[in-house]
Amino acid sequence: MVTPAFVASKQCRRELTRFVDRERRLGRNDLILPAYWISVPVLEVPGRAADDELVAELAARQYADWRELRFRELSDPVSRRAIAALASRVRDALNTDSQATGTRFSGMSGDGASAGRASGRPVPVHVVDALGRGDFTTVDAAVRAALPGDRIVVRPGLYKGPIVLDKPVEVVGDGPVEEITIVTGEGSVVVFTASNGSVRGLTLRATGQPQEGPVIDIRAGRLVLDGCDVSGSASAGVAVHNDADPRVRHCRIHYVSGRGVHVYDKGAGLFEDNDITGNRKSAWDVWGADRKRMIRR
């Protein structure tokens, strides 16, 4: 169980070191299966983990994010699914030949595009269909039911926000972007607070009051926002702050009543091949970051 006390404990660190050494001797990379129980600041801040070799080792693994499970009963279906998923990983590790090398477990790929799972293992998929022909009829319900690393596929339709992404998941549109719309009449359409994740191929539109916030509020971690259409009555199309470091690519950010992109409060990121036009205020409003290094094409 990964907690601040675990990271600080000499005994726990010695035990982790022994497991890392054993993995290396056996040519394995799947004997350490972290369960994230209480938030550890050094794991949450981009770049901090690299200062500590053992913490970096944990950060590079696929972890089971159980922080929300602390507030659920063990009999709760979500808790039972999480335990079953971890048990399956333990079973697979025990049944794997000791010379198997495979792909390292990791939290996300380099750009956060897909949730961390062992190479070759199927990613659980949750289908959202507004007409009831999938697993869920709302995106929010699918996100709440998903486990870290799951993929949520959204079929054409009009869906209600907001969507709070507080775990590493993928949300992907299945169809023309103009036919898959998530709209909110109050506040942000997407609020991102996870360590990593991705949103692709969606139309995101705010219809509330501009002072209620941005269309997409990136508050932490590395979100990959790719191929989305962002517009509406909001303070900004995309807001990045609180050390967040997203990758925003091939998006159209337009007709926002405020700014196109607002980066502030130690926000960063990389913006590539985006169409940012027709916004009432500035296209860009960048504070405390190197705008030239953030924007490409």
Instruction: CATH number of the domain at 167, please.
Output: 2.160.20.10
Q: What confidence score (pLDDT) does residue 272 get?
A: 92
For residues 139 and 274, state if they share a domain. Answer: yes
For residues 129 and 244, state if they share a domain. Answer: yes
For residues 187 and 289, state if they share a domain. Answer: yes
Residue 184 domain-assigned (yes or no): yes
- Domain end residue (candidates: 76, 94, 112): 94
CA–CA separation, 187 and 63 (whole Å): 31
For residues 264 and 130, state if they share a domain. Answer: yes
Q: What confidence score (pLDDT) does residue 233 get?
A: 93
Q: What confidence score (pLDDT) does residue 99 get?
A: 42
Q: What confidence score (pLDDT) does residue 257 get?
A: 93
Residue 99 domain-assigned (yes or no): no
CA–CA separation, 27 and 110 (whole Å): 23
Q: What confidence score (pLDDT) does residue 261 get?
A: 95
Q: What is the reported pTM?
A: 0.62
Residue 288 domain-assigned (yes or no): yes
- Domain end residue (candidates: 72, 94, 116): 94
Residue 56 domain-assigned (yes or no): yes
For residues 59 and 129, state if they share a domain. Answer: no
Q: What is the mean pLDDT, run by run of 10 residues, along the chain of 297 residues?
A: 79 83 76 76 62 73 71 75 74 59 36 45 86 95 93 96 95 95 95 95 90 91 95 95 93 95 91 93 79 63
CA–CA separation, 143 and 163 (whole Å): 8
Planar angle of CA 106, 107, 109, nearest 5 degrees: 75
Total count of residues recorded for the chain: 297
Write out the chain in H/E/C secondary structure: CECHHHHHCHHHHHHHHHHHHHHHHHCCCCCCCCEECCCCHHHHCCCHHHHCHHHHHHHCCCCEECHHHHHCCCCCHHHHHHHHHHHHHHHHHHCCCCCCCCCCCCCECCCCCCECCCCCCCCCEEEECCCCCCCECCHHHHHHHCCCCCEEEECCEEEECCEEECCCCEEEECCCHHHEEEEECCCCCEEECCCEEEEECCEEEECCCHHHCCCEEECCCEEEEECCEEEECCCEEEEECCCCCCEEECCEEEEECCEEEEECCCCCCEEECCEEECCCCCCEEECCCCHHHHEEC
Residue 190 domain-assigned (yes or no): yes
For residues 51 and 149, state if they share a domain. Answer: no
211 C-beta neighbours (distance < 10 Å), count: 10
- Specify whether the CB–CB gap between 137 and 129 falls below 8 A: yes
Q: What confidence score (pLDDT) does residue 181 get?
A: 98
Q: What confidence score (pLDDT) does residue 61 get?
A: 66
- Domain end residue (candidates: 77, 94, 111): 94
Residue 275 domain-assigned (yes or no): yes
Residue 113 domain-assigned (yes or no): no
For residues 238 and 287, state if they share a domain. Answer: yes
User: What range defines the domain where residue 88 resides?
Assistant: 4-94
For residues 82 and 136, state if they share a domain. Answer: no
Q: What confidence score (pLDDT) does residue 248 get?
A: 95
- Specify whether the CB–CB gap between 212 and 189 falls below 8 A: no
For residues 136 and 279, state if they share a domain. Answer: yes
For residues 55 and 175, state if they share a domain. Answer: no
Number of domains in the chain: 2
Amino acid at 230: V
Q: What confidence score (pLDDT) does residue 103 get?
A: 32
Residue 263 domain-assigned (yes or no): yes
For residues 156 and 216, state if they share a domain. Answer: yes
For residues 59 and 197, state if they share a domain. Answer: no
